[in-house]
Amino acid sequence: MPTEFNSLRVGVYGFGAIGGSVVNKLVGDPTHFCLIGVSSFNQCTLAKRLEGENTHIKSFKFEQLIEEVDVLVDCARGTNFLSRVKSASKYKCSIVTVNAAAVLLNYKEIKKTVTPDRNLVVASGALPGLDGVAALSHGNIESALLVTTKPISALQDARGFKSSGLDAANITKTTRIFRGSALAAASQFPANANVAAAVALAGGGSEHTRVEIWADPDAKFNTHKLTVESEVGCLSVQFEGLPLT
């Protein structure tokens, strides 16, 4: 990987709400980054969107993009994530991903794949304070609890919600729809448990990080409340973020 930021060649995989926002930031900072192009699972849809936005951003097939870049910013869903990591590992291409849940679910395989010259960086995204979790983990974390509250629309398509037996139309007050480990949350709510997975990866542990997910019909924000207790100290942090659309 180049040592000078101004020679860093970047590609983006996934062009949804997150991917589009990342692309705009990269385009707005040409001094430090060179956006090579974007890729997506559905190349036809991607091509139409780029054409509709009248942009000069180039579209690549995934295999072509990872050959051209130093860093791939992975903004797509976690489906086939491990396959993307393995493909990127064939080249000197590092990955920055928002898919903490996918990293947690595939952790053992990823450790076999990622090497010192091919970094995998998890974007913490919606929660500050993960450096504090990492610090507390050196003193034996006794408990870690993350309580996540989101609008019903953000949760109702998850397999964990569908298997809960709840009817989204009948939820009229804040309702808990999941309680369990970060690993279970990542499996049942892969698009909603990235913060939980990031806490686990930072030092909370996949089984010892406890997670509650609540659906709120009146919520305008995604809210995350984290409490960590360790033999060397305690941490409490809360973050409210507007959902990207």
Record the tokens describing residue 116, joined without a space.
Answer: 């010192």
CA distances from 77 to 1, 72, 149, 207 (A): 26, 14, 20, 23
* Catalytic center residues: 224
The closest alpha carbon to 245, from 154, 122, 124, 158, belongs to 154
Q: What is the CA radius of gyration of the chain?
A: 19
Single out the residue of 155, 149, 8, 142 nearest to residue 72, CA to CA.
8
Q: Which residues contact 54 (CB under 8 A, 6 or more apart)?
A: none
* Of 172, 168, 170, 173, nearest in space to 154 by CA: 168
Handedness of CA 96, 98, 102, 104 (dihedral sign): positive
Whole-angstrom distance, CA of residue 11 vs CA of residue 33:
10
